[in-house]
Amino acid sequence: MRFRKYLVRSWLSWSLVFAGIIYSTWQSMGAFEWTLFWFIYTLGALFVMNPLKRRHLHFTFHEMFVFMTFFFYGLVPALIMGQLLLLTFQARSFTKRVGRRRFLHFYPLNTLIEAMILLIPGLVYLRLGGQIGPSVHLLEQGMALLAFFAVLYLVLGFSFVLSRFLIGERIPLPIMWRLLRFDWLVVSLELLFTMVAIEAYQLFGYVGLMTTFLLLSLLKMSLSKATETEETQTKIDQIERLKEQLYRVDSETLLIEKFWNGLREIVEVERGWLQVNRDSSRTFYDMTGRADRAVPDAYTLERHRDAGETYFLYDSLHEWHPELLVHQTELHQSALVIQPVRSTTNAVSCMISTTANGAYEEALAVEIHRLLKTLSWSLERIDERDRLQHESLTDPLTALPNQRALRRWTKERMNDVASYPLSVFLVDLDHFKAVNDTYGHAFGDEVLIEAGALFTRLVRTGDLVTRYGGEEFVFPRTNEQAAILTGEKIRQALKAHPFGTEGVRINVTASIGVETIHEYEELDTVLRNADRAMYVGAKFNGRDRVAHYRDTSTERIQ
């Protein structure tokens, strides 16, 4: 409803202004020289195709050509010139959906501001006796010209208020003041060059206009470089430092946190999400670095993605795609969307937004896109390191943790007094060599894989099940009272479980040795004791049983 209200206000106001322009034009169709008019328009059209941008405002310098038309021919031709140049400026982005939405919401406002900038100062100028015509000398107009300047500056200030009323534009006051001062500077230059152009035309004709146009073009180029302010360059330097920091991080969680913390220090971010796609999986991170649920914005952007753009900016809420507006819980004007940045193993994209208009500059958007490339490369490096680490800690046959993983796990636990008492199980499958000899090693491998999966299901979620080597499995448990009961549970479940395919089914038993420690002990010593318990207490007593080391006599071991 709010957007409809703004649209109705804007286009109703535009209709009144446009109707007045059409009527006035109809009344004075033959009152001015069309050749010079179209020549001025051609020069102006070249200018508006490459505007100067500060935040979300585009400074086209086309008012110089409007002022020139006014001082040559009067208000009506100047109003027509302004509308033609505005349409030319808007048409440059008609090929993009954002450009068409921008036209729908901003063209009426620009029309009104254009009319105000010309009509009010122009009427004051004419009221005070200011002269117009091809032979006019502006420096001779005295008070009329000064009044034109003064009223023009007031109208420029009022235009910011009008933009808030018509389209709900939000600009923080300090930023608005900076933009207004820059607007005054641009208009002052346009008025100065208008006076120079008129004098040059009177002296040298069309050549004089062309020369003035070239001089203003050079000045515009120098101003364009000057708009890359020290503040912007500082932010770019901060992004470069953040890239270096990201590339040194070895944890995905810390990497995402550092990305968001660093980005918030550089640009305005009130809401944002980061999406990381790997193969068929996708993960979303919020601004705190925590994994978040799926973000509707991401799916909307995916459906309406423009593959030709690496990123795109929204300077005002009216430029947003309509489906994105549905998801907004609060009105955010500015947004920056980075399309997926791809590496070998992942694709990273993000969206940030804030309530202020024009918060994100083109130069910073380019750098943030590059920042996401660094993030993507860092994630790829972390993924590769994790893959290699996982392979070094994983048994390739059963996909269970291996002996190295067991040593790492127990080292961490044995240094923690809260882990005691700690029991270690050593499970050895009985007569496994006979299984390999009878059914083949491929069948034996399937038995090992299935046994490992069975053990994993039988223990607690936090317990570690490892393949220690051959047909031996080891898993520690931090509960002495449940140690024998757990071992017996594993033995019975293994004995009752049929192994193999439909054609060949066998039952496998196991001898299980258990050792429990109450204080720090070397893992090799613990495993040696569990191994003795398994052989002496279980295998020497007929196999298919559980034995604890404390119940095994020293004499029997010897």
The answer to whether the beta carbons of residues 41 and 85 sit under 8 Å apart is yes
Q: Which residues contact 241 (CB under 8 A, 6 or more apart)?
A: none
CA torsion angle for 110, 115, 117, 120 (degrees, to 10)? -150
| Tokens coding 525 | 């010593």
Strands annotated E in 454-541: 466-469, 472-477, 498-500, 505-507, 510-517
282, amino acid identity: R
C-alpha 489/C-alpha 475 separation (Å) is: 14
Sign for the pseudo-dihedral over CA of 451, 454, 456, 459: negative
The answer to whether the beta carbons of residues 410 and 283 sit under 8 Å apart is no
C-alpha 130/C-alpha 137 separation (Å) is: 10
The answer to whether the beta carbons of residues 258 and 246 sit under 8 Å apart is yes
Strands annotated E in 301-418: 311-314, 334-342, 347-354
C-alpha 40/C-alpha 206 separation (Å) is: 10
471 a catalytic residue: yes
| Tokens coding 196 | 């120079």
Q: Which residues contact 163 (CB under 8 A, 6 or more apart)?
A: 109, 113, 169
Return the CA Rg of the chain.
39
Axis crossing angle, helix 75-91 with helix 63-73, rounded to the nearest 10: 160
What are the helix (H) ranges across 248-361? 252-266, 296-303, 322-326
Q: Which one from 169, 319, 361, 471 is the annotated catalytic residue?
A: 471
Nearest to 474 by CA among 414, 410, 418, 431: 410
C-alpha 121/C-alpha 131 separation (Å) is: 13
Burial of 226 (0-12, 13-18, 19+ CB in 10 A): exposed
3-state secondary structure 310-341: CEEEECCHHHCCHHHHHCCCCCCCEEEEEEEE
Sign for the pseudo-dihedral over CA of 291, 296, 297, 301: positive
The answer to whether the beta carbons of residues 476 and 425 sit under 8 Å apart is yes
Catalytic residues: 471
